[in-house]
Structure 1
Amino acid sequence: MTTEPRPLALPTDDSGPDWLDWVARRGDDELARCRARVDELKASRPTEAIDRLRLWNDAQIALSNAAAVGSFFAEVHPDKGVRERAETVAQEVQKLDTDLGLDPELYAVFAALDAAGLDPAADRLLERTLRDFRRSGVDRDETTRARLRELSEKGLLLSQDFSKNIRENVRSIRVRPERLGGMPQDWIDAHPADDDGLVTVTTDYPDVVPFRTFARDATARRELVTQFLTIGWPANDQVLQEIFAVRRETASLLGYASWADYDAEVKMIGKGTAIAEFIDRITDLSADSAARDKAVLLERLQRDRPDATDIDGADVAYYAELVRKEQLAVDAQRVRTYFPFESVRRGLLEVTGRLFGLDWTPVTDAPTWHPEVATYDVGFRGRRVGRIHLDLHPRDGKYKHAAQFDLVRGVRGVQLPEGVLVCNFNRGLMEHDEVVTLFHEFGHLVHHVIGGDQEWVRFSGVATEWDFVEAPSQMLEEWAWDADVLATFARNAEGETIPAELVAAMRRADDFGKGYDARTQMFYAALSYDLHVNETDDLTARLTELMRRYSVFPYIEGTHMQCHFGHLDGYGSGYYTYMWSLVIAKDMFSAFDRENLYDPEIAGAYRDKVLAPGGRRDAADLVEDFLGRPYTFDAYAAWLAE
């Protein structure tokens, strides 16, 4: 009888010393297990290809376990000592992973394998493993391999510095209470004046998002937005230059014209130059819509400031909100009264449980790293298939954005998939945009769990091409816009359900600005691509040039947005993937019945054909299997043109 894998045993005490010991032991033990399996693989040389792949799988499971501990707890643990120890684990993981990829003896083990008789998943694993070795540079001379090893280790240290500089550089402004006109009352109540009679407004999301949206004081808005757009500066300017230099040299040593060419090789897009072509295509598609809606914003700004000739990021969110309220009959301050945080979290679980056939069972006695973390066991057809943790509120030293992190990658019969959702939401009322973000990020968590029933850890969870991983999450956003779905949990303090006509107006209002939002996304994509392809001495000057070409909004003097644009590190040259994924998400959503988003046949087919395979097949094949045809731009273009 097979014993069901159990969730990861975390420390029962959230004190620093217990966690410090646990993180160190988890990292050291898993790294030692990985090394032992690799030594066994090289020494025993099993004759059957499947046996060698299984030994390699065991080694990769151990390595991924150590990697998850290092990368996750370095970003979220409340204790700085634990975060720093986790960073050390991540460095050790990177070093071992690099050493394995550059080991000619280990490569020879796989190069000699006969793939005859392997099933499709095992054959794909062997092909991907050999490709990984080649892309690591195992076939280069000893001097080149040594340099590649140095670059890999340096790159990780730089990435950690980049992230730390963002995480620890919270900025703020201090204003008198009378300058808070327009802010929601619950926000004002949560921000009392200090002994000097001033209110502190930080660059953390629960402050900066509502402030730039609702605060009537234009000077205060500009002060805060300027602080927000200079997080990590000047330190990260030099860190970025070094990151780009490491990647340029790495790509060159491996025989690629640029880092973008190297990176795109394993994505749906295929080649670096196609990224630039895609960016220009979306830029052209969105030009008319962007110009039309920007003109509306500028006209509304000029009613307050007749001498204004342009509008920039310090005013866009505020005037977009005014346009939606005055011209499109949507008041975001009214909307947010229907979205208390606890109701939204509960509703999210109910919606996704019904859609995917999952059960979310609270585990109230589960040990975690912080008291606000909520833990749930995930059930499917009467069986526990995973565990999730929701860490959704801001605190000092915590990751500042929204993301899903792996804690354990699922392997059938070995370990349950376990994931964490990390966000920075208010504990009270939520903006609807935040609700959409929560649905989006939860989509990654669902993918991690549903795709976590795999024999090979390489294909577990969100293991598809990187320019597809956002598509399932972007598609799940659609459920946060449906009146019938929202009616199941969106209620105000009086218990009134959000009116369907308000949701319809919200959808119409959301269409406003999608053209200039697309252009902004293309500016971000062009920035991430260009800085990895073209060397420049002045990152801010180059950012300004690209903003002028791709965004419809001008640069704000004195800002250095690149220094806190975390995706420049994590996504590298591939930030285009958000829009690429959106194209596919819109196409996949076209298969659903908008009158019944819970249709079990369609939802089940999507779950089983797109999410459950993990990385066992190419993303294009998963989508074609679900849609019954290859994906197209048609649904996206139609949405953009509406």
Structure 2
Amino acid sequence: MNNILSAQNPFFEQYQTPHETVPFDRIQTEHYEPAILEGINQQKAEIEAIIQNPEKATFANTVEAFEQSGKLLDKVTTVFSNMLSAETNDELQALAQKVMPLLSEHSNNITLNEKLFDRLKEVYNQKEDLQLTQEQHRLLDDIYDSFVRHGANLEGEAREQYRQLTNELSMLTLSFSENNLKETNHYQMLLTNKADLAGLPEIVMETAAETAKSEEKEGWAFTLHAPSYVPFMTYADNRELRHKLYLAYNTKCTHDNEYNNIDIVRKIANTRMKIAQLLGYDNYADYTLKKRMAETSNAVYKLLNQLLEAYTPTAQQEYQEIQDLARQEQGDDFVVMPWDWSYYSNKLKNKKFNLNEEMLRPYFELEQVKKGVFGLAERLYGITFKKNQDIPVYHEEVEAYEVFDKDGKYLAVLYTDFHPRTGKRAGAWMTSYKEQWIDRKTGENSRPHVSVVMNFTKPTANKPALLTFNEVETFLHEFGHSLHGMFANSTYQNLSGTNVYWDFVELPSQIMENFAIEKEFLHTFAKHYQTGELIPDELIQRIVNSSNFNAAYACLRQVSFGLLDMAWYTRNTPFEGDVRVYEQEAWKKAQILPVVSDACMSTQFSHIFAGGYSAGYYSYKWAEVLDADAFSLFKQKGIFNQEVADSFRKNILSKGGTEHPMVLYKRFRGQEPTIDALLKRNGIK
């Protein structure tokens, strides 16, 4: 390695920052590629050393040695992949197109390395005689299974076919994501007639005016980012413009331009099917679910069909009620279409409960919400948060906090990133820059660095960032994921924090959402940003009363996404048909609103085509069953009950993937979950 290059590249040094956090202020785009290439070379050498070890294969010299390999590569690719999501640009995306095939090939070179697999298999075959700890057993099983699931048992032509398919898949998913981001950023609806803004709240108009002004345009600019799109669809009186914006959003990546994802959807679904079949499975869902709590497609469909049966009658009533309201205003021939749903839902909610998002915004100023959410963790778990401006960040809007445990010891670093930018993908997520592990030689517990990334309402020239109630729930959700990362206490990085079964990972996040309607919690922070008045009890009661408003429709919407996901990944023959038609057929049982023939979800459904939720979107509903059942214990004992919180931390949040999730859940709850608590919470039962 060139010493001059090494001296200039921060990835090649031990970070000289607080807690060895990423020195974002020193990292340039040109640093990634040489660090990735050197990381690949270093891991190759580490793998070769394992293979060439003349001693008999043992857990320490093979399994642990493999688990500890690739530190430099992990260090640089973690930052690189996170920046592709949170702060990307054309140069980074071009580099991704260049290095992703190299990374895919390197990964294949490891899992298809016969000599390495032989040594792992040697240890695996004698595991019952090795007196391993529970965690060591889990690590050995996970690594062995991972090799098998990534082609280690394939031979000859099948191995080469596997290489080719996985390389193709890595490029397809990257292109899918980039197209989605670019198409989202590309669209703008500029309005110059103030009459077109009728119905919109002042804060929404201010934001739209500032968006236009930032691009030296006159008028009000609306985009497909959630803080712009959602309020427009909810409040704009102009139906024609709602229709226009709806179609722009729901036809993303279907147009005759360079961002079209239709053929990419086909190719991703077909490539995953071929990989699964190459590995001996009938379809990709069978392959994926083998390492999930659900285990089989039948179990997933059983849950989705249970929810369909339980919620459909109520969802149909909800639609009819909104249709009736709309017809009172528009006449008996009026049909509520998808671009009318949010608008008339909001009107009905206001009529029934005297409540809408704009009434609540003044009580949810972002700084106060942060105090509330951090304060909730302090009250439940005794942890504290201290902003540290010496920790470098990747954008001026990002803040970094040191987190301390109840005994005052350093626990983690938490980054927060709240607002939309052109370089940030849509949605909200939690991620890690460094996982937790325990050094086997020194016993040092190396603590994690985690980040929560959102796309919340921005401050304007006249107002601070005032969140919607939905954004408060999203904050709690992602913060729940971050607690799972921050409380991690595993020996091995591979089993640490959120490295759990995908249909279990949403339990720590979704359980936190339950606090959003609890008066005791809201009273800790929800104050009017101008007057300082605490949110009135009567307003909280309206939030509680309305908490199940359109709950059945919302459930079926999630079920429809689960059905669509399963339809793509239970296929055992290649798909060459019409993506829109296939989609409409796949989820028709869960559709309550009239079908819009031009709309297409699949072409922008990053969760299942570019994220980790392929054959896994059902996980949100699966985990909702868990979180409703789990939170019922908090409700029973008190929402701030220390005993319950300590048990949740000890048995769920700190354990990561060290044991099977159902074992952990039953240890916390004392029983397996049933759907009853969810039905009761949603007012269905």
Q: Same fold (TM over 0.5)?
A: yes
What SS class does the counterpart of residue 389 from structure 1 fall into? strand
Q: How far apart are the structure 2 equivalents of 1:89 and 1:45?
A: 34
What SS class does the counterpart of residue 404 from structure 1 fall into? strand
What SS class does the counterpart of residue 557 from structure 2 fall into? helix
Evaluate the alpha carbon distance shift between residue 532 and residue 78 of structure 1 in structure 2; reply closer, same or farther with a 3 A threshold: closer
Evaluate the alpha carbon distance shift between residue 37 and residue 262 of structure 1 in structure 2; reply closer, same or farther with a 3 A threshold: same
Evaluate the alpha carbon distance shift between residue 480 and residue 86 of structure 1 in structure 2; reply closer, same or farther with a 3 A threshold: farther
Unaligned runs of 5+ in 1: none
* Equivalent residue for 1:455, pick from 491, 500, 525: 491
Deviation at 1:472, TM superposition (A): 1.3
Deviation at 1:196, TM superposition (A): 7.2
* Equivalent residue for 1:563, pick from 603, 611, 618: 603
How do 1:22-171 and structure 2 match up within 5 A? 22-47=31-56, 48-59=58-69, 61-62=71-72, 64-85=74-95, 88-113=98-123, 114-115=126-127, 116-170=130-184, 171=187
Q: How far apart are the structure 1 equivalents of 2:179 and 2:474?
A: 24
Q: How far apart are the structure 1 equivalents of 2:312 and 2:363?
A: 34
2:551 alignment counterpart: 514
1:345 alignment counterpart: 370
Amino acid in the other structure paired with 1:124: R
Amino acid in the other structure paired with 2:152: V
Deviation at 1:219, TM superposition (A): 1.5
Q: C-alpha deviations, 1:279-326, integer Å up to 9, x for none?
A: 212111111221221111111111222244642321111111111111
Deviation at 1:224, TM superposition (A): 0.9
Comparing 513-522 with 179-188, greater Cα deviation is found at 179-188
2:3 alignment counterpart: none
What SS class does the counterpart of residue 315 from structure 1 fall into? helix
* Equivalent residue for 1:541, pick from 573, 581, 603: 581
How do 1:464-543 and structure 2 match up within 5 A? 464-492=500-528, 493-534=530-571, 535=575, 537-543=577-583
Q: C-alpha deviations, 1:394-417, integer Å up to 9, x for none?
A: 111211111112211111237431
1:186 alignment counterpart: 203
Q: How far apart are the structure 2 equivalents of 1:501 and 1:92?
A: 59
Evaluate the alpha carbon distance shift between residue 408 and residue 499 of structure 1 in structure 2; reply closer, same or farther with a 3 A threshold: same
Question: Do 2:21 and 2:391's aligned partners in 1 also have CA atoms closer than 8 Å?
Answer: no
* Equivalent residue for 1:303, pick from 297, 305, 328: 328
* Equivalent residue for 1:315, pick from 337, 340, 344: 340
1:20 alignment counterpart: 29
2:291 alignment counterpart: 266
Deviation at 1:76, TM superposition (A): 1.9
1:607 alignment counterpart: 649
Q: C-alpha deviations, 1:69-99, integer Å up to 9, x for none?
A: 2321112225432344356555433322222
Amino acid in the other structure paired with 1:229: N
Q: C-alpha deviations, 1:563-593, integer Å up to 9, x for none?
A: 1111122211221111111011101111113
How do 1:231-250 and structure 2 match up within 5 A? 231-234=252-255, 235-250=260-275
* Equivalent residue for 2:277, pick from 210, 234, 252: 252
Structure 2 residue 591 is matched with structure 1 residue 551: yes
1:399 alignment counterpart: 425
Comparing 551-560 with 81-90, greater Cα deviation is found at 81-90
1:177 alignment counterpart: 194
Comparing 528-537 with 623-632, greater Cα deviation is found at 528-537
Comparing 58-67 with 46-55, greater Cα deviation is found at 58-67
Q: C-alpha deviations, 1:488-544, integer Å up to 9, x for none?
A: 111112111111221121122120111111111111111111022233511101122
Q: C-alpha deviations, 1:110-159, integer Å up to 9, x for none?
A: 11113222111111111121111211121111210111111111101111
Question: Do 2:18 and 2:391's aligned partners in 1 also have CA atoms closer than 8 Å?
Answer: no
* Equivalent residue for 1:278, pick from 303, 306, 310: 303
Q: How far apart are the structure 1 equivalents of 2:568 and 2:649?
A: 37
The size of the alignment, in residue pairs, is 635
Question: Do 2:580 and 2:597's aligned partners in 1 also have CA atoms closer than 8 Å?
Answer: no
Comparing 47-56 with 323-332, greater Cα deviation is found at 47-56
Evaluate the alpha carbon distance shift between residue 121 and residue 196 of structure 1 in structure 2; reply closer, same or farther with a 3 A threshold: closer
Evaluate the alpha carbon distance shift between residue 10 and residue 125 of structure 1 in structure 2; reply closer, same or farther with a 3 A threshold: closer
Comparing 124-133 with 547-556, greater Cα deviation is found at 547-556
Question: Do 1:137 and 1:148's aligned partners in 2 also have CA atoms closer than 8 Å?
Answer: yes
What SS class does the counterpart of residue 19 from structure 2 fall into? coil
Question: Do 1:45 and 1:109's aligned partners in 2 also have CA atoms closer than 8 Å?
Answer: no
2:462 alignment counterpart: none
What SS class does the counterpart of residue 137 from structure 1 fall into? coil
Evaluate the alpha carbon distance shift between residue 383 and residue 580 of structure 1 in structure 2; reply closer, same or farther with a 3 A threshold: same
1:635 alignment counterpart: 677
Q: C-alpha deviations, 1:150-208, integer Å up to 9, x for none?
A: 11111011111111111111222222221112211122122226687542110011101
Evaluate the alpha carbon distance shift between residue 416 and residue 80 of structure 1 in structure 2; reply closer, same or farther with a 3 A threshold: farther
Structure 2 residue 388 is matched with structure 1 residue 363: yes
Question: Do 1:447 and 1:611's aligned partners in 2 also have CA atoms closer than 8 Å?
Answer: yes
Q: How far apart are the structure 2 equivalents of 1:384 and 1:548?
A: 51
Amino acid in the other structure paired with 1:584: L
Q: C-alpha deviations, 1:316-356, integer Å up to 9, x for none?
A: 11111111111122132111111112221232222223222
Question: Do 2:398 and 2:415's aligned partners in 1 also have CA atoms closer than 8 Å?
Answer: yes
- Using the size of structure 2 for normalisation, the TM-score is 0.89
Amino acid in the other structure paired with 1:183: L
CA RMSD in angstroms comes to 2.1
2:19 alignment counterpart: 7
Q: How far apart are the structure 2 equivalents of 1:578 and 1:191?
A: 33
What SS class does the counterpart of residue 346 from structure 1 fall into? helix
What SS class does the counterpart of residue 520 from structure 1 fall into? helix
1:293 alignment counterpart: 318
1:624 alignment counterpart: 666
Q: How far apart are the structure 2 equivalents of 1:78 and 1:550?
A: 36
2:7 alignment counterpart: none
1:434 alignment counterpart: 471
Deviation at 1:266, TM superposition (A): 0.5
1:202 alignment counterpart: 223
Question: Do 2:24 and 2:394's aligned partners in 1 also have CA atoms closer than 8 Å?
Answer: no
Question: Do 1:179 and 1:217's aligned partners in 2 also have CA atoms closer than 8 Å?
Answer: yes
Question: Do 1:23 and 1:86's aligned partners in 2 also have CA atoms closer than 8 Å?
Answer: no
Question: Do 1:447 and 1:461's aligned partners in 2 also have CA atoms closer than 8 Å?
Answer: yes
Amino acid in the other structure paired with 2:434: V
- Percent of matched pairs sharing the same residue: 24
Evaluate the alpha carbon distance shift between residue 588 and residue 25 of structure 1 in structure 2; reply closer, same or farther with a 3 A threshold: farther
Amino acid in the other structure paired with 1:13: D
Q: How far apart are the structure 2 equivalents of 1:517 and 1:386?
A: 35
Q: C-alpha deviations, 1:228-257, integer Å up to 9, x for none?
A: 112222411111111011101111111111
2:614 alignment counterpart: 572
Deviation at 1:61, TM superposition (A): 4.8
Deviation at 1:276, TM superposition (A): 2.3
Amino acid in the other structure paired with 2:250: L
Q: How far apart are the structure 2 equivalents of 1:12 and 1:127?
A: 36
Q: How far apart are the structure 1 equivalents of 2:88 and 2:261?
A: 23
Question: Do 2:651 and 2:668's aligned partners in 1 also have CA atoms closer than 8 Å?
Answer: yes
What SS class does the counterpart of residue 189 from structure 1 fall into? helix
- Using the size of structure 1 for normalisation, the TM-score is 0.94
Question: Do 1:343 and 1:490's aligned partners in 2 also have CA atoms closer than 8 Å?
Answer: yes
Evaluate the alpha carbon distance shift between residue 579 and residue 61 of structure 1 in structure 2; reply closer, same or farther with a 3 A threshold: farther
Question: Do 1:172 and 1:227's aligned partners in 2 also have CA atoms closer than 8 Å?
Answer: no
1:387 alignment counterpart: 413
